[in-house]
Structure 1
């Protein structure tokens, strides 16, 4: 296990029910994009340490859909959504639903920006339908999963 030197910034917008996550990686936008779109890579880094991820369905293309399940100590948490726009190395727009709260659908946008030196800045925004929903999303422990997940992604990217 390695410790990341990169900061994950998570900001709740005061004017709209949106969370913005920004993180830089020592890898190209194409490599970071690939880790978000190929299920065999995704299961190696998504979520906090200690959770196991299983992909039940994955059709990562504009108009496609996905479903994955994370488990720990016999508990399972399922997530699903639809891909609205997938542009390789550049952008993913998708919906995101935790099946335990099926009425709380987020619209997510992930932009992969090329930085000097073959690096990437990933900016993710999650828009939900209310400030209460956004605050519940943030209070759910999302920060731990995002920070640890991106640390794990650093490890996957470093391994090639």
Structure 2
């Protein structure tokens, strides 16, 4: 079953001076993901990565002051070098979906699609995300967080840019 996002979606586009195959690859392997995914300054530990439709990315994020949070992706669709679709959620260490530790109004599940296109060795990456099975209150809260999420993903994608520069 493929869930569709509901309401307005967060859309973020970034351009990287690297080939699409490389940008896609760093989304698809644990060794790469743990080095750039997540909030700036957090350390990522990968519990599991099964990069296929129906597979799972389960990870732990630790803040600089030692606070730990778990998250997971459940992959829905993967088209090599073109698109990755997953449902993202906070989880416990066993992979069960839990509320975000900092807000009861963040939707339990966010469906994300990231697409990759290339022109002359330059990759345009677009992330679109929106809540799944959310209440009206959760949808409004999610939409009210767009500026904060733009900033957060901006930091994550800055880390991706730095990682690509060091590994190309």
Task: Output the TM-score relative to the length of structure 1.
Answer: 0.81
Unaligned runs of 5+ in 2: 1-5, 92-97, 101-106
Hey, what does 2:158 align to over in structure 1?
151
8 Å contact from structure 1 (residues 48, 144) kept in 2: no
Moved more, 78-87 or 101-110: 101-110
Q: Distance in 1 between matches of 2:119 and 2:154?
A: 21
Hey, what does 1:142 align to over in structure 2?
149
Q: Distance in 2 between matches of 1:152 and 1:82?
A: 23
8 Å contact from structure 2 (residues 24, 81) kept in 1: yes
TM-superposed deviation, 1:136: 5.6
Matched position secondary structure for 2:150:
helix
Task: Output the TM-score relative to the length of structure 2.
Answer: 0.77
Q: Once superposed, what is the RMSD of the aligned Cα atoms?
A: 2.0
TM-superposed deviation, 1:133: 4.2
TM-superposed deviation, 1:147: 1.1
Matched position secondary structure for 1:27:
coil
Q: Distance in 2 between matches of 1:143 and 1:79?
A: 19
Residues 1:101 and 2:99 aligned together: yes
TM-superposed deviation, 1:107: 1.0
Q: Distance in 2 between matches of 1:51 and 1:144?
A: 15
Stretches of 4+ aligned residues off by more than 6 angstroms: none
Alignment of 1:43-54 (within 5 A): 43-54=34-45
